[in-house]
């Protein structure tokens, strides 16, 4: 695939392409090197140089750079993180610890499952992503589950353990609203040294901590490693009571992570977390996606906002719904969908997740049908104007059609379950609060 470009002037040494230019952070302009042999290329010649060298250019003024991924047909809104001569870029990098989750209701344990955002996200990416993904997670020697992507094992700490307490009545206050979450045990943080070396580069990165395991230094390293970074704010603003581990929230601005917002691409926030983020301020620095449970999600960016419709579901366990949403959202973007279309896919997978306890088991036929729809959407975009712009934040011309296709896939899955006697009525779903 031929990389595409924006209109910005870049100075390149024709005899020795890298380094391309010096970026002056005071004037916010590229300046040519004073050495002989440098000349200003026209946009046409930049295109030719890209085609024959396949090198990646440094970011232009607004932080955007070029994308040559076959599954990312448009340039992405990126952090200013790659130097002028990076190594070959592979798929994705997911960073966040696996956990043990124990579910309580009415004082009784009703379930013990694998937890952690990385577990739910890997379940989605492994099923639907068009490109490979590496995972960096850390557990203790007591880790009780078999996972596809082996974690690092700490010799000095146990696996992170959460207890989720579900009351008889739904509370209207507090984090997670309908449950009290407590961190009982905590594993070691993920340090920058745990991540791949800088010679490895990734198309995307997902920072999905759940228990404070992603340090500020680790997030900075991810920004250096990845062309665009997606961050779940829960890993940045959670607080933990020193006595009983009850999970609370602190304002994002009070943390050192706030200063990195301008260097990431997308920030995922739940409706419970939104009051602690200052959406109006954050949207000026990156795209903010707020999940709203049974109401779908809302996307905020510098120049606008929009609502993306939900899918109905039958709630059994809300744990991990936001993680599955995030995984689906990223998968959609990897397939070249617009941001609203990708959010539709995220909403669908989040709604399916709440119907099962723990990490969901997705129906293989359903997954295959979703892949076929994604392939059709990607093929349609190849013949459109998808290659002359950055991420599209407006709904595509096929948005409603895409939504209808996903609804039909869920309906088919439901009717198949009916034929096996698993549910009592085809399509009998109820709105839920994710």
Domain boundaries in the chain? 1-62, 91-419
- Which pLDDT score, from 0 to 100, does residue 99 have? 97
The DSSP code sequence of 329-366 is: HHHHHHTT--HHHHHHHHHHHHHHHTTSSSS----HHH
pLDDT value, residue 380: 82
Catalytic residue among 101, 188, 317, 323: 323
Give yes or no: 272 in active site: no
Q: State the Cα–Cα distance between residues 79 and 62, nearest whole angstrom.
A: 9
pLDDT digit of tens for each residue in the chain (434 aa)? 333 333 333 333 333 333 333 333 333 333 444 443 433 333 333 333 333 333 333 333 333 333 333 344 433 444 444 544 456 677 999 999 999 999 998 888 988 999 999 999 999 999 999 999 999 999 999 999 999 999 999 999 999 999 999 876 544 444 345 689 999 999 999 999 999 998 889 999 999 999 999 999 999 999 999 999 999 999 999 999 999 999 999 999 999 999 999 999 999 999 999 999 999 999 999 999 999 988 999 999 999 999 999 998 787 778 889 999 999 999 999 999 999 999 999 999 999 998 888 899 999 999 999 999 999 998 887 766 444 455 789 899 899 999 999 999 988 765 545 445 454 434 444 443 44
Q: What is the pLDDT of residue 394?
A: 87
If DSSP codes are grouped into helix, strand and coil, which group holds residue 154? strand
Cα gap 36→363, rounded to integer Å:
62
Report the pLDDT value the prediction gives residue 320, as an integer from 0 to 100. 87
Q: Where are the alpha helices (DSSP H) in 90-190?
A: 117-128
91-419 carries CATH number 3.40.1190.20: yes
Provide the b/e sequence for 354-373 (b: ≥16 CB within 10 Å).
Answer: bebbbbbebbeebeebbeeb
pLDDT at 102: 94
* Pair type for strands 138-140 and 133-136: unpaired
Question: Could you tell me the sign of the dihedral formed by the alpha carbons of 264, 220, 278, 321, in that order?
Answer: positive
**pTM: predicted TM-score of the whole model, two decimal places:** 0.76
* pLDDT given at position 316: 77
């Amino acid at each position: 695939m031929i990389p595409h470009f924006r209109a910005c002037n870049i100075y390149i040494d024709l005899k020795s392409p890298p380094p391309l230019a010096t970026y002056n952070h005071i004037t916010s302009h590229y300046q040519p090197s004073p050495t002989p042999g440098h000349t200003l290329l026209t946009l046409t010649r930049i295109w030719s140089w890209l085609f024959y060298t396949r090198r990646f250019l440094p970011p232009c003024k607004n932080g955007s750079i070029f994308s040559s991924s076959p599954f990312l047909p448009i340039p992405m809104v990126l952090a200013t993180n790659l130097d002028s001569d990076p190594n070959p870029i592979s798929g994705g990098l997911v960073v966040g610890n696996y956990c043990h989750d124990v579910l309580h209701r009415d004082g009784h344990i009703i379930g013990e499952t694998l937890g952690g955002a990385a577990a739910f996200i890997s379940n989605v990416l492994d099923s639907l992503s068009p490109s490979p993904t590496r995972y960096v997670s850390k557990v203790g020697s007591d880790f009780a589950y078999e996972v596809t992507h082996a974690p690092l094992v700490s010799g000095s700490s146990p696996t992170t353990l959460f207890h989720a307490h579900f009351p008889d009545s739904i509370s209207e206050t507090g984090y997670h609203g309908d449950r009290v979450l407590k961190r009982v045990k905590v594993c070691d943080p993920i340090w920058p040294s745990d991540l791949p070396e800088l010679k490895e580069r990734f198309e995307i990165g997902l920072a999905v901590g759940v228990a404070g395991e992603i340090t500020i230094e680790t997030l900075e390293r991810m920004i250096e490693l990845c062309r665009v970074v997606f961050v779940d704010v829960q890993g940045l603003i959670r607080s933990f009571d020193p006595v009983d581990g009850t999970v609370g929230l602190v304002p994002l601005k009070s943390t050192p992570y706030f200063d990195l917002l301008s260097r990431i691409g997308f920030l995922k926030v739940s409706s419970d977390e939104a009051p602690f983020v200052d959406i109006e301020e954050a949207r000026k620095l990156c795209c903010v996606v707020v999940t709203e449970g049974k109401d779908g999600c809302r996307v905020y960016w510098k120049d606008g906002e929009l609502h993306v419709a939900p899918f109905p579901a039958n709630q059994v366990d809300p744990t991990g719904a936001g993680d599955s949403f995030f995984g689906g959202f990223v998968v959609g973007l990897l397939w070249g969908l617009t941001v609203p279309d990708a959010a539709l896919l995220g909403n669908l997978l989040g709604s399916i997740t709440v119907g099962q306890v723990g990490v969901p088991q997705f129906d293989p036929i359903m997954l295959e049908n979703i892949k076929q729809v994604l392939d059709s959407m990607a093929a349609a975009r190849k013949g459109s104007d998808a290659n002359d712009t950055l991420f599209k934040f407006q709904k595509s011309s096929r948005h409603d059609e895409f939504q209808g296709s996903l609804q039909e896939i869920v309906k088919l899955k439901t009717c198949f379950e009916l034929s096996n006697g698993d549910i009592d009525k085809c399509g009998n779903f109820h709105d839920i609060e994710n």
